[in-house]
Amino acid sequence: MLKKIVLKKFNRIPETMIILGSGINSFVNNLNDSESISYKELFNYDTDASIGHSGLLHLGYINKKSILVLEGRKHYYENVSDFDMRQMIQAFASIGVKNIVVTNACGGMNESFKPGDIMVIEDHINMSGRNPLVGLNNNDLGPRFVDMSEPYDLDFREMIDKVALKENIELQHGIYVSYIGPSYETKAEIRAFRMLGGDAVGMSTVPEVIIARQANMRVLGLSLITNMSTGITKNLLSHEEVLEVGKLSVHKLSKLLIGFLERI
């Protein structure tokens, strides 16, 4: 069904898909000649409205390049199974999508970061206690044991640095720690994650990257720092703030994404 829908729109399979994180939804306004279909229709997924994701796949063009944009994702805190976590990304990989850009909203643990910054993910630490590849492996989709020595594509990271330079956008670089949520982290947890080498913390992204790497997709990860983490800031954390800062910074992220798509 997915392949049919994508081919009907483009006559070919786009090379790249983008997953939009919380507050970053309005990136879809950059799409030309776009059509949308709900995850409910495609994958029978219900959308958790409290997260602020619409649960739509958009098929459209940016500067004449065909592109698939996913507005919303599954999180382990929604109590999804590993199978459900795998299903969506594997569906795109198996129709021939080659590249995936994962974006997210997250908390900044590195004290040199500030809300509104964008961090290029260089590597991650999976502290969620979950791995989406647990369960029966379909060897047609990729190997049972997946190499994770360079999950975030080096060429893509260089490309995004060049785009940022051209657009005069300051980028941060660092390690993303995944936490299962949905409660935010404690001060002690943030202290521990910082000691482990983490720069930013969030509740998504890592499962998708693991699935994508199993399927040998090339990955770019961009984190929008929407708040400083617990204990780094004295403010209380709230999802409203996360969405608000996301909205304020989406133009910057959009410029980066558009510039990146021009180069790949």
Nearer to ligand HPA, 219 or 242 (CB): 242
Nearer to ligand HPA, 107 or 207 (CB): 107
Segment interacting with ligand HPA, rule: CB under 6 A, options 42-50, 87-95, 150-158, 195-203: 195-203
Window 104-123: residues binding ligand HPA (CB under 6 A): 105-107
Q: Is 55 in the site for ligand HPA (CB under 6 A)?
A: no
Active site residue 204: yes
Task: Establish how many alpha carbons lie within 13 A of residue 6's alpha carbon, considering only the half-sphere containing its beta carbon.
Answer: 22
The residue from 36, 77, 131, 137 that is catalytic is 77
Q: Tell me which of 184, 213, 256, 259 binds ligand HPA, using CB under 6 A.
A: 184
Nearer to ligand HPA, 63 or 235 (CB): 235
Segment interacting with ligand HPA, rule: CB under 6 A, options 61-69, 149-157, 159-167, 226-234: 226-234
In DSSP notation, the chain reads: -HHHHHHHHHSS--SEEEEE-TT-GGGGGG-EEEEEEEHHHHH-PPP-GGGT---EEEEEEETTEEEEEEE----GGGT--HHHHHHHHHHHHHHT--EEEEEEEEEE-STT--TT-EEEEEEEEE-SS--TT-S---TTT--SS---SS-S-HHHHHHHHHHHHHHT--EEEEEEEE---SSPPPHHHHHHHHHTT-SEEESSSHHHHHHHHHTT-EEEEEEEEEEEPBTTBSSPP-HHHHHHHHHHHHHHHHHHHHHHHHH-
Q: Is 242 in the site for ligand HPA (CB under 6 A)?
A: yes
Active site residue 93: no
Which of 56, 48, 21, 18 lies closest to 203 in space, CA to CA? 21
Cβ-proximal residue to ligand HPA, closest one:
107
Active site residue 15: no
The residue from 17, 39, 45, 53 that is catalytic is 53
Active site residue 81: no
Q: Is 226 in the site for ligand HPA (CB under 6 A)?
A: yes
Segment interacting with ligand HPA, rule: CB under 6 A, options 5-13, 61-69, 221-229, 248-256: 221-229
Q: Which residues are catalytic?
A: 22, 53, 75, 77-78, 105, 203-204, 227, 239
Residue ranges binding ligand HPA (CB under 6 A): 105-107, 179, 184-185, 201-203, 226-227, 229, 237, 242
